[in-house]
Structure formats: C-alpha cells, structure tokens
Amino acid sequence: MGGDRPRALAAFAAAAATDVLDGLVARALRQRTRLGAFLDPIADKFLAACALVALAATGRLPAWLPALVVARDLAQLAGAAFLRTVHRVIPVAPTRIGKYATFALAATVLTALAGDYGGYPRHAVEPYVAALGLLAALCVTVSFAQYFLFFLRAARAPGR
C-alpha cells in the first residue's frame, strides 16, 4: 500500500488549486451556470472523500474522519433529494463554515501527503495532521448541524 506518494501529493495539490482557480475565474467573469453550481460541489466532495479514504486505508488518518465527511455529504444528498420532492428549487448555498471545512480537509490531506515527501519522519508530521484533522472534523460537524437545521426549516415550510 505504499503507492507513489509524491505523485499523489502533486495530483491532489493540482486538483485543489485548479478548483480554487476555477471558482475565482467563474466569479470574476460571471460565468456561473446551473450545471456548474451542481457539479462543482459534487466534484469537491468526491475528491475529498477519495483522498480521505485512501489516507485512512494506509493508516495516515483515522477511519472516523472520512466516515464523518461521507456521512455529512450523504445526509446532504438525501436531504436535498427529499426536499426536491416537496419544493421545485432548493436554494442550498455553501456556508462559511462549510468552506472552512473544505479548506481544513484539503490542508489535512496535503499535510499527510507532504509528510511522506522529503526527509520528514512520519512521527514529526503526525501531530500536525492530527490537529488539522480535528479542526476539519469540528468544521464538518458544525456544517452538518447547519445543513440539518436548514433542511429541517425547509421541510417545514409550505411547498412552492
């Protein structure tokens, strides 16, 4: 399960950087589309989930972190699908804490991968990975609660 960690680091860093640049360019040029608004968060969640699961499978992260992230994302998907049956349009916008969670998760993955690149011993990087992972978990949990409350209020609102 060694894999090619320098390439994994480069691939994840490139994917994360292009996602940020894509968002900035789309906003600057006012090139927002419904399809992009739908696909971008799915791509972000898929990238994060794959990286977290791979790192947990190699023992670099605890299994509960990808489980928490995937549970939140599946709950969001289920909530949106449920509300779609009640309301035609579901105006779900990312929350600030959700963006912090995405950033903290990316930082956790990058730090875990970077810890294997260069001459760093694994034990020297583990405290940083653990701290970033806990920060990411806190942000994910708070965003989970925010989305849950949003979906609860939306479910109680009359249909449109």
Tallying the residues shown for the chain, one arrives at 160
CA end-to-end span of the chain: 51
pLDDT of 151 reads 83
The pTM of this model reads 0.80
| Tens place of pLDDT per residue across the chain (160 aa) | 456 666 776 777 787 777 777 777 777 877 777 777 667 777 788 888 888 998 899 888 999 999 999 999 999 888 888 877 776 666 667 789 988 998 999 999 888 888 766 666 777 888 999 999 999 999 999 999 998 898 888 778 765 5
| Single-letter amino acid code for the residue at 72 | R
Angle between the 96-114 and 122-156 helix axes, to the nearest 10 degrees? 160
